[in-house]
Amino acid sequence: KGKVVVITGASSGIGAATTRRLAQAGAKLVIGARRKDRLEDLVTALAPAEVIYQVTDVTDKKQVQSLVNLAVEKFGRVDVLFNNAGLMPLSELNELKVNEWEQMIDVNIKGVLYGIAAVLPIMEKQGSGHVITTDSVAGHVIHPGTAVYSGTKWAIQAIMDGLRQEQAGKIRTTMISPGAVNTELYRTITNEKKRQQIKNDEQTSGLAAEDVANAVAYAIDQPNNVGINEILLRPITQQR
């Protein structure tokens, strides 16, 4: 209660559900994403909770820094950064969708690094903080078509564990690694057949975004000496 939390990718899915979950628990939230209308609607729906938004593209490090700075200006500190923005334009490597590989690297890896760069000096000065990043079961398991997406989520494992070790005793780290979740993540898949298949799987058997939000809240709610370094959660029907 009362923690200051910055969330990227808050305009839909897991980020929006986590915003709702934490606002209900009394957190002070600063949320960002590119779709202004979605952010505005969310803030309106949650009034009078302390939630503010700023349009943010995580591929621009200045915009990420500005989102984090907003939290310090309005609420005086940053207790939690939830690096959640992500894209999943799945395709097999021989489809040569190089632009989509680059987008995934820019959002899923560089966006997370920009978030860490923005909060690290603040959290070091505070002597405390918590960085949470949405990883994936795909950061552990590869399928044909997930090579690059999995690669970005694998990278997050390395970055987050490095952060944990370097900041031991000061900053807590958590990776949230879901299997299929019923969100809008399928929308960036450009192969029509694959998009429909993933959309169907997520809608018929995926976790709800709220299930993942509960995992985030659990990690945040632990006493300060307890680091929940990863939560891996799948719908019980998902095998790999």
Tokens of 209: 């975004």
Question: Which member of 53, 149, 186, 218 is catalytic?
Answer: 149
**Binder among 4, 29, 33, 148 for ligand NJP (CB under 6 A):** 33
User: Rule CB under 6 A: is residue 231 a binding residue for ligand NJP?
Assistant: no
The answer to whether the beta carbons of residues 232 and 240 sit under 8 Å apart is: no
Closest CA to 115 of 229, 227, 7, 2: 7
Amino acid in the structure at residue 119: V
Q: Which stretch binds ligand NJP (CB under 6 A): 54-62, 140-148, 162-170, 223-231?
A: 54-62
Chain residues 61-80 in contact with ligand NJP, contact rule CB under 6 A:
none
C-beta closer to ligand NJP: residue 57 or 128 = 57
Where does this chain touch ligand NJP (CB under 6 A) — which range of 65-73, 90-98, 133-141, 223-231?
133-141
Q: Is the CB of 56 or the CB of 173 nearer to ligand NJP?
A: 56
If the CB atoms of residues 75 and 149 are measured against ligand NJP, the closer one turns out to be: 149
- Nearer Cβ to ligand NJP, position 93 or 141? 141
Name beta bridge partners: 130.
80, 172
Residue selected from 97, 178, 189, 213 as contacting ligand NJP according to rule CB under 6 A: 178
Q: Given phi > 0 = left and psi -120 to 50 = alpha, else beta, which region is 2?
A: left
186 is catalytic: no
Number of residues that bind ligand NJP (CB under 6 A): 36
Q: Which of 46, 50, 59, 92 binds ligand NJP (CB under 6 A)?
A: 59
Select from 70, 71, 10 the least CA-distant residue to 40. Answer: 10
On whether the CB atoms of residues 131 and 79 are closer than 8 A, the answer is no
Q: Does 89 bind ligand NJP (CB under 6 A)?
A: no
Cβ-in-10-Å burial (0-12, 13-18, 19+) of 60 comes to middle
When the beta carbons of 128 and 154 are compared against ligand NJP, the nearer one is 154
Is the CA virtual torsion 15, 20, 25, 30 positive or negative? positive
**Count of CB atoms within 10 A of residue 193's CB?**
8
Q: How far apart are CA 67 and CA 9, in angstroms?
A: 12
Question: Which residues does residue 134 pair with via DSSP β-bridges, in sequence order?
Answer: 176
Interface with ligand NJP (CB under 6 A): 8-15, 33-35, 38, 56-59, 84-88, 107, 134, 136-138, 178-181, 183-185, 202, 206, 209
Q: So which residues are the catalytic ones?
A: 149
